[in-house]
Amino acid sequence: MNLLNNIPIGQYIPIDSTIHRIDPRVKIFILLGFMIWILMCKNFIDYLTPVLIIIAIIILSNIPFKYVLKNVLKLKYLFIITWILHVFFSEGTSVWNWGIINITSEGIKLGTIVTIRLICLILTTSLLTLTTSPMQMTDAFEKIFSPLKKIGFPSHEIALMLVISFRFIPILFMEADKIMKAQMCRGVDFNKGNLRDRINCLIPIFVPLLRSSFQRADELATAMEARCYSAGGGDGRTHFRQLKTGFIDYIALFFFISIYIVNWIVLKKY
């Protein structure tokens, strides 16, 4: 069992592609707009264009489609539970009834739409982290939050916290995977027994994982201090790589806005 390979968010794949070369600030703004677009979709036809855009982004990013799909399918139980909850607990026209169980047509439709929405949101978020390095994410968030410095908002510190949080997701799962393998070598079986037994088997994992997390955080703080990083680390600091908006970034923004406007006009007519 390799937990590190089960993370759909937080990993970065260094590939030279069109999506990788886009300014991270532009990608973040497009992601936010795309997420709002997805949340506004109310029926199956509304999701057609966003799904096609996601497929196009995967192709342009040169990331194998099987890899992206495999990562999303690792959350299949979350999608199944989401769909079941809407199917069994939504009111409407009854399709099948057995005792206290009542399946409605509205529940099936709502559950399917919400599940598609959840898949699209996870796909777009994972594509951002897969095509944007942690350093680019830090610089992008700092630039986006920089206007708030005038009111005392710690933009550099918040950006650094966000990126460290993203990077710690796969690291923590890697640590958990190592601990589980060590426990399995000692004879622990995580797949046998009832639910209570399996929960008890996880306790020896959480304790060392918590200790390892604090230790890694302390080492990170020591490393930052050794590099003369202080509490006001963003004050007066320069960047080795400067973020510059180029022709490809304007094309990406224009394409996204144009597709959204055209899609809105077409759907409004029908």
By the 8 A CB rule, do 169 and 7 touch? yes
Query: CA 216 to CA 235: how far, in whole Å?
Result: 26
The answer to whether residue 184 is domain-embedded is no
Higher pLDDT, 269 or 220: 220
What is the pLDDT, as a whole number, of residue 98?
Answer: 72
What is the pLDDT, as a whole number, of residue 198?
Answer: 67
Torsion of CA 228, 231, 234, 239, to 10 degrees: 30
What is the pLDDT, as a whole number, of residue 27?
Answer: 92
- What are the CA-CA distances from residue 17 to residues 33, 63, 94, 132, 228 (Å)? 22, 9, 49, 11, 35
DSSP state of 62: T
| Average pLDDT of the chain, as a whole number | 80
Query: CA 43 to CA 268: how far, in whole Å?
Result: 13
Q: Residue 28 pLDDT > 80, yes or no?
A: yes
Helix (H) or strand (E) holding 98: strand 94-98
Query: CA 258 to CA 252: how far, in whole Å?
Result: 10
Specify the range with the lowest mean pLDDT, choosing from 20-34, 43-57, 203-217.
203-217
Domain that holds residue 103: 8-132+244-270
Torsion of CA 265, 25, 4, 226, to 10 degrees: -170
Which residue has tokens 């590190």? 4
- Region 247-270: mean pLDDT is 83
109 HSE (CA, 13 A, CB side): 12
Specify the range with the lowest mean pLDDT, choosing from 16-30, 104-118, 156-170, 243-257.
156-170
By the 8 A CB rule, do 190 and 177 touch? no
- Region 174-189: mean pLDDT is 78
The percentage of residues in the chain with a pLDDT greater than 70, rounded to a whole number, is 84
Higher pLDDT, 65 or 2: 65
Structural domain total, the chain: 1
At 270, which amino acid appears? Y
The answer to whether residue 41 is domain-embedded is yes
The answer to whether residue 180 is domain-embedded is no
The answer to whether residue 126 is domain-embedded is yes
By the 8 A CB rule, do 68 and 128 touch? no
Helix (H, G, I), strand (E, B) or coil at 95: strand
Helical segments of 12-150, H only: 18-21, 24-40, 48-60, 65-73, 76-88, 105-131, 134-145
At 199, which amino acid appears? I
The two tokens of residue 115 are 């599940």
Helix (H, G, I), strand (E, B) or coil at 242: coil
User: How confident is the model over 234-245, as pLDDT tens digits?
Assistant: 566 666 677 788
Q: Which residues contact 16 (CB under 8 A, 6 or more apart)?
A: 62
The answer to whether residue 97 is domain-embedded is yes
User: How confident is the model over 76-86, as pLDDT tens digits?
Assistant: 888 888 888 88
Residues linked to residue 101 through DSSP beta bridges, in sequence order: 98
The answer to whether residue 95 is domain-embedded is yes
* pTM score, whole prediction: 0.72
Higher pLDDT, 191 or 256: 256
What is the pLDDT, as a whole number, of residue 133?
Answer: 83
pLDDT range class, residue 42, cuts 50, 70, 90: confident
The answer to whether residue 190 is domain-embedded is no
Query: CA 199 to CA 209: how far, in whole Å?
Result: 15
What is the pLDDT, as a whole number, of residue 117?
Answer: 92
The answer to whether residue 187 is domain-embedded is no
Q: Residue 170 pLDDT > 50, yes or no?
A: yes
